[in-house]
Structure 1
Amino acid sequence: MSAFHYNLVEYLRDEIARRTVGRLSCLTTPFDNVLDYGSNGGNFEKIVCSSKYDGKFQRYTEDRKLVKSKLRRITMVDSSESMISKYEDDAFNNELDIRRVVADEEAFKDPVLRRENQYDLIISNLSMHWINDLPGTFRHLNSILKPDRCFIGTIFGGDTLFELRASLQLAEVERYGGLSARISPFVRSSDVEGLMQKAGFQMLTLDVQDIVVEYPNVVALMRDLQLMGESNAITNTPPPLTKDILIAVEPVYKALYGDRKTGHLPATFRFIDIIGWKPGKNLSQPVARGSATVDLKSALGNDTN
């Protein structure tokens, strides 16, 4: 598959990469040694070097240039050689110090994933829904991160593709009188928070956001998921997704969720944005509950009398 075809469906990863740039611009810590965990082709690296939106959004332009100026060395890690190499001939490779490593993200056997306290920053965008052992993965990521440094990631959450899930279930009941769990479950934000705390991360910040993408039909949605490399994670449960089911799901999807004017089908992608810090001597700590010496009402100047 050519990079051109991949580019047509990279809108989600590119958008998350842009938002990652914005969050990184607020950090004062160095980015000398960065790990892009589950990097795919390098959407973050591509976006941070792209001037496509410069001049249209002044704040973003400043953020992008600031983040790019702080980046020194980036290690991209992905288990798929075809994915990690799909942008290796693009111009951004000449603007950043990048090394690509094909390795099993969960095994943590490669030195780039094994040596403790080596990274100033770890980012991971839209790859961790593939991980089977999230608790172990968060622990390992914490161990290879330097003290007082942070992990920033985005993972598919909760209600991702709920329209497709419900429509597939109803179509399957109509055709076969039963249903299969066609779409893999996605984690909830509360689960992610608990796992990160147990892994040793502190000062956690989690945010949930939805992006709704409109498609002309179900086939177009499934095609984009396949090009994104997400079709196996989303429809990986037997029996196979047959043409008969795809034909049946179209009218169900349109009746339940379709736009009455355009006929387009909305697909919701829910994202959980994560920031977690590895403890160190310079990391700020929240004060103990009940230790405040000033009453909130007094501080706000509220007089209830």
Structure 2
Amino acid sequence: MAATDRTESVFNVFDRNMKRKQKNWASLQDNVQDCDYLKEEVGARIADRVFDVARQFSFALDLGSGRGYVSHNLTKETVEKFVQADVSEVAMKKSVASEIPAVKVVTDEEFLPFKDNTFDLVVSNLSLHWVNDLPRTFHEICRVLKEDGVFIGAMFGGETLYELRCSLQLAELEREGGFSPHVSPFTAVNDLGNLLGRAGFNMLTVDTDEIQIHYPGMFELMKDLQGMGESNCAWNRRSLLHRDSMIAAAAIYQEMYGEEDGSVPATFQIYYMIGWKPHESQAKPAKRGSASVSFGDLRKVNEIVSKSKKDES
């Protein structure tokens, strides 16, 4: 498990033990499925990307699986067997039923207890934003993948919940003369490609998407975030929110972002990433200087095509 003592380290932003408790608590609630809508949607989109790969995977890892939001959207014709790995033992016990046989392993995403070259496929659905050492985690994923194996994942991006962050900050500045972080920091999309490349992946694809969900008000949004197990677990979080500041934040949220029907939007930015572990069979970029046409000649392409047609006739 990741260290849970507060140390001065750039890789110790989150209290991983607190995150395990939050996810366990959320999974024990009777209405846990009512808060699964976001992870279900992104899990289905990850599954679509797996279907786009024209092959059958014999052995796959669902890293930060939670209640199995990816695996139950896949079929045995695509993945023969899954290992579901998560820091929350309760979440995995309440996994959504799937036709794919699965083995459940309680582990931290930062320290994978698997041998090198074990899996054909690794997927990860909205869990890596709570990892302290993301470069190490990407290295671990690459290590446990077989050559020509693929990693397909999704994580929250930097614009996630900007409405909530702005409202809370403005309210605390007004009522308390300063503000504290209430939403965890997120990785920038520009960093993902570099981190994946440094971890050993090639043929990288990184794209972004936004999902906007409407809620009756700010308090309903925060209740659902808690039900998702997505409450802040940063070490520098405030353990107590003043009532006056919360009421002011809800009013600011409504005033700045409210819709005509009285609802308020919450934006979730999603980064999707695909990376392949290198193999000699994969296509390789041409050597530098091997091009037979200069970029400067592109403006003459119509002239070249017309001349070629005349020569043929």
Following the alignment from structure 1 to structure 2, what is the Cα–Cα distance between the partners of residues 97 and 239? 41
Q: Where in structure 2 are the equivalents of 1:225-240 lying within 5 Å? A: 225-233=225-233, 237-240=237-240
CA distance in 1, matches of 2:136, 2:273: 17
Shift in alpha-carbon separation, 1:187–1:80, aligned structure 2, 3 A = same
Stretches of structure 2 lacking an aligned partner (at least 5 in a row): 1-26, 307-313
| Counterpart check, 1:280 vs 2:279 | yes
Q: Give the TM-score of the pair, scaled to structure 1.
A: 0.85
> In 2, distance between residues paired with 1:77 and 1:124?
10
Amino acid of the structure 1 residue aligned with 2:77: S
**Residues of 1 paired with 2:298 and 2:194: CA distance?**
35
In the other structure, the counterpart of 2:110 is 106
Contact 2:72–2:100 under 8 Å retained in 1: no
Q: Which has the larger radius of gyration?
A: 2
For residue 36 of structure 1, what is the aligned residue in structure 2? 62
In 1: Cα distance, 2:288 partner to 2:193 partner? 20
SS at match of 2:265: strand
Quote how far apart the aligned CAs of 1:299 are.
10
Measured in 1, the distance between the counterparts of 2:146 and 2:107 equals: 21
What is aligned with 2:41? 15
TM alignment of 1:110-189, pairs within 5 A: 110=113, 113=114, 115-189=115-189
* Structure 1 residue 149, shift from structure 2 partner: 1.1
Q: 1:209 to 1:162 in 2, by over 3 A?
A: same
1:86-113: CA deviation from partner (whole Å, max 9, x where unpaired): 22xx542xx22111111122123x3xx3
| 2: CA distance, partners of 1:254 / 1:225 | 18
Shift of 1:183: 1.5
1:142 partner letter: C
Query: Match of 1:28, as an amino acid?
Result: A
1:48-63, aligned counterparts within 5 Å? 48=74
Residue in structure 2 matching 1:82, options 90, 95, 116? 90
Provide the rounded CA distance (Å) in 2 between the counterparts of 1:73 and 1:300: 54
SS in 2 for 1:148: strand
Name the TM-score, length of structure 2 as normaliser: 0.83
Q: Judging changes above 3 Å, is the alpha-carbon distance between structure 1 residues 96 and 190 closer, same or farther for their aligned structure 2 residues?
A: same
Match of 1:27 in 2: 53
Q: Unaligned 5+ residue runs, structure 1?
A: 49-66
Mapped to 2, the partners of 1:189 and 1:129 lie a distance apart of 12
Q: CA deviation at 1:139?
A: 0.7
Q: Kindly, what percent of the aligned residue pairs are identical? A: 41
Pairing 1:88-99 to 2, within 5 Å after superposition = 90-92=96-98, 95-99=99-103
Aligned-pair RMSD on alpha carbons? 2.2
